[in-house]
Amino acid sequence: MGEDFRRREEQEVIKRFELAVKNKTYTFFDLEEFEEIISYYLQHQKYKKALKACDVALNQYPYSSELLISKAQVLSNLEEFDDALVLLDTVSTLYPSDPEAIFLKATILSLCGRFEEAIQEYERALPMMEEKDEVYYNMGLAYQSFSKYTEAVECYKKAIEVNINHENALYELAFCLDVTGELESSITYYEKFIDADPYSYHAWYNLGIVYNKLGQFEKALQAYDYAILIDDSFASAYFNIGNTQMNMGNFQAALDAYQQTIKCEGPSSEVYCCMGGAYEKMEQYEYAIKYYRKATKIDSLYDEPWYGLGSVFCKQEKHFEALHFLHKAIKLNSENMMYWYTLADAEFKVGNIISSLEAYQEANAIDPAYLPVWLDWSFAYHEQGDHARATEIILQAIEEAPEEAILYYRATAYLIADGKYQEAFRYLEQALILNFDQHTVLLDFFPKVETQKALFKIIDQFRNNNI
């Protein structure tokens, strides 16, 4: 009853304010009402209206630190960072020890990429702020943003010492420890907190994340189970159980966990996308398509389900249908190598050779260490009879990964196809040295018995001399 009454009062205040603005009439609002109006617009992401409310309020209360800070927050949300910082400098002149103004300035400096300045402001705010865990957490984010992971770890640990259930600090701590190679040693750190508070479901949850990252999936599941025993509505724990079951290849168990996630917090594009992925792994493609489509309907700007649809259609040999979805995924995220690689294969399969070669090139530029791209990209040229270009690409791959025998075997095949036998045999010898057993890959390139006999004669001679 009280909540409904408060909501009705809020709506009345908003109506009065909007009517006054529309009619350009003066209507008195006290400071608390203005703060309520601005807060309402911020919560509903109506930043232009929030800015108007700030300006009207400041005409009436020009020296209110609360209103000046609110306006700086609104300007920050509008990405007008310079104006927001100027306004906060004004607050600092009037109220040099206002912790909210200092904290907001630090946050904006961090958003501008001025991380060292941001950290200095967080340190200034720290003694004055009641929620010290939030200051330490944001300081950690600032250190993390310019790759000072060790310092970030210390900040996250301090945040957790103040508030053991600071979920974001626990999560970012695990990430930074992973980056610094200290993830395994962090297990005792989380266990210390669990000993202090066995009912901290966030601590159990993040211990599960650590075990999952270390590939200790059974222990991860056990930790997530403890988190759920403490709070059976903990959606994130169910979701991560699903992810861990996926890592273990238990796709039906993963689906059950994702369903539990939906029961706890309702459907989301991410959960539906994961369900689509589970069905795809089970080769139940119609269900995979169904859930990928559900994901796109909730969030049409989420690239992964669009890629999922393209991937499923490729697996069904429906490459032409796949192209639309793969292009959609790439439009939303052009930095994902696998998207370009899958597109390249689909374009090749439908005969769009130029588009295929361009897509392979894009994939290779994103991740030159991924060997399948080099192999398929060069093979596309080989299939078109351009053996010289195929060889050129595979030799570039050898420079990238000189220890990979498969690349030397592929160079051998392309050089033989190009009639360069002497050079081909040099690469064949190197391939045999690196991995003799892999020589059977050459059979796919030379179905003629005469060619196979000639190659095996050389291979047998190598075996007799070296093994």
The reported pTM is 0.77
Claim to verify: residue 385 and residue 352 sit in the same structural domain: no
Claim to verify: residue 91 and residue 113 sit in the same structural domain: yes
Whether 217 is in a domain gets the answer no
Claim to verify: residue 301 and residue 353 sit in the same structural domain: yes
- Say what the pLDDT of residue 380 is: 97
Q: Which residues of the chain, if any, have pLDDT below 50?
A: 1-2
Claim to verify: residue 123 and residue 17 sit in the same structural domain: yes
Give the whole-angstrom CA distance, residue 431 versus residue 8.
Answer: 78
The set of residues, in sequence order, having a beta carbon less than 8 Å from that of 185 and lying 6+ positions away, is: 177
Whether 215 is in a domain gets the answer no
* 404, 431 Cβ separation under 8 angstroms: no
- Say what the pLDDT of residue 4 is: 55
Domain-ending residue, one of 129, 156, 172: 129
Structure-derived torsion over alpha carbons of residues 350, 354, 360, 366, reported in degrees to the nearest 10:
-130
- Say what the pLDDT of residue 345 is: 97
Whether 358 is in a domain gets the answer yes
Claim to verify: residue 344 and residue 305 sit in the same structural domain: yes
- Say what the pLDDT of residue 153 is: 93
Give the whole-angstrom CA distance, residue 231 versus residue 228.
Answer: 5
**Domain CATH number, residue 333:** 1.25.40.10
Claim to verify: residue 324 and residue 396 sit in the same structural domain: no
Tell me the one-letter amino acid at 317: E
Domain-ending residue, one of 113, 129, 145: 129
- Say what the pLDDT of residue 415 is: 94
Whether 341 is in a domain gets the answer yes
Domain-ending residue, one of 329, 348, 365: 365
Claim to verify: residue 331 and residue 379 sit in the same structural domain: no
Claim to verify: residue 453 and residue 438 sit in the same structural domain: yes
Q: What is the pLDDT of residues 384-428, one digit of tens each?
A: 999 999 999 999 999 999 999 999 999 999 999 999 999 999 999
Whether 189 is in a domain gets the answer no
Claim to verify: residue 360 and residue 372 sit in the same structural domain: no
Claim to verify: residue 291 and residue 382 sit in the same structural domain: no
- Which range marks the domain in which residue 90 is found? 1-129
Dihedrals phi, psi of 189, to nearest 5 degrees? -65, -50
Claim to verify: residue 382 and residue 345 sit in the same structural domain: no
Give the whole-angstrom CA distance, residue 133 versus residue 149.
Answer: 18
Q: Is the dihedral of CA 295, 298, 304, 307 positive or negative?
A: positive
For the chain, the domain total comes to 3
Claim to verify: residue 91 and residue 124 sit in the same structural domain: yes
Whether 440 is in a domain gets the answer yes
Whether 231 is in a domain gets the answer no
Whether 186 is in a domain gets the answer no
- Say what the pLDDT of residue 1 is: 42
460-464 own/partner pairs: CB under 8 Å, 24+ apart: 462/429, 462/432, 462/436, 463/436
